[in-house]
Amino acid sequence: MASLLLILVALSLPGSLGDVSTVKDLAVLEGRSVTIPCHYEPQYTRHVKYWCRGVMKDFCSSLARTDTAPSTDSKVFITDDPAQQLFTVTMRNLQEEESGWYWCGVEVGGMWRADDTVSVHITVTHGMSVVNSMLVGEEGGSISVQCLYGSRHSGSIKKWCRSGDWGSCLEADSNGTLEGGPVLISDDRVGAFTVTVRELEQRDTGWYWCAAGQQQVAVHITVTLQSATQRSMRTSLPLMTSLPTAPKEAWTSSPPPRAVHTDSEGQNSFSYVFGSPLMICGSLLLLATAVMVALKIWHHYRRMHKRRDVSGTELTLSPDSESDQTKTAIIFFNSSSPQQVHMF
């Protein structure tokens, strides 16, 4: 008889008692909701499903059933999906005192066969958690951290701190926000606040804390180097492109390219380009070449002009001596006929 009682008690303790399965232990922040999936075998498609609470299955208190409509003020809802062979249970606005053992159950029917059930333990805490505690961002980019907190911390001051340095903490104001710097904080006042870190640098890699009141949760940020594509795009900006304003530290390793502008005296700064030694030498070379070509053309023109003058000119020879006044020689040159000499 004692052995039979021990077997019955063992069958009533938390665990899986048939063809039903679900998740393992769950931790939920106070004031938030949770949804539990309960899977069953095809033979249970038309059976009643239920959700109950208690350490022992046979003495658990029923909270929701698929054959009963929930009340208007119910915090527990159950939905069956036979096509997926799954029913889900949603519990809303959980409080710390609701921590304990719960059961997914399928009514099998019959006096000699127990229901198929599986248990899950839910722990409701009033601390904090984060959606993702290990974040990776790229240099120059930004990342966002979603920090979750229990309902009793909705009015607490929200902070973002670097681990090991409480003097680095940044606090949200009375409206739950922080703006105007590289770190932004926005609190929805119902269970979560978001921290956005902008203009990431390599030195930002490390551990941080989301804090609400006296509760904290750790977050690690890893900042990777900027991709080669983005670096090449940044360094190949055209000369006339306006560069965005950036912190002074961002230019310590690679100063921005010089932009073309007009100075205060109205002189265009393009002059610094044409004032380079290379451009000056090139200009002088072109000028010298032009002068030499012009001189060569001018000399050629003079020679041709002299030839035309000689071919059409009548020359008169003066007397050979003062005593010979009677003999005069006139020579005519004609390019179209042989040269003739006439003596008078």
Query: What pLDDT score does 270 carry?
Result: 41
Distance from C-alpha of 178 to C-alpha of 170, rounded to nearest angstrom? 8
Distance from C-alpha of 42 to C-alpha of 109, rounded to nearest angstrom? 16
pLDDT, one tens digit per residue, over 260-314 is 343 444 444 444 444 566 778 778 888 888 888 888 887 777 777 666 655 554 4
The whole-chain average pLDDT of the chain stands at 76
pLDDT, one tens digit per residue, over 79-136 is 999 999 999 999 999 999 999 999 999 999 866 778 999 999 999 988 898 989 999 9
Nearest to 89 by CA among 33, 43, 31, 27: 33
Nearest to 62 by CA among 102, 33, 94, 122: 102
Architecture of domain 9-125: Sandwich (2.60)
Query: What pLDDT score does 251 carry?
Result: 32
State residue 340 phi and psi, 5-degree precision: -125, 145
Distance from C-alpha of 104 to C-alpha of 19, rounded to nearest angstrom? 11
The proportion of the chain whose per-residue pLDDT surpasses 90, expressed as a percent, equals 43
Where in the chain do CATH 2.60.40.10 domains reside? 9-125, 128-224
Distance from C-alpha of 226 to C-alpha of 253, rounded to nearest angstrom? 14
Distance from C-alpha of 144 to C-alpha of 192, rounded to nearest angstrom? 13
Residue 326 has pLDDT above 50, yes or no: no
Query: What pLDDT score does 13 carry?
Result: 47
Q: For the domain bounded by 128-224, which CATH number is listed?
A: 2.60.40.10
pLDDT, one tens digit per residue, over 208-228 is 999 998 889 999 999 999 876
Residue 335 has pLDDT above 50, yes or no: no
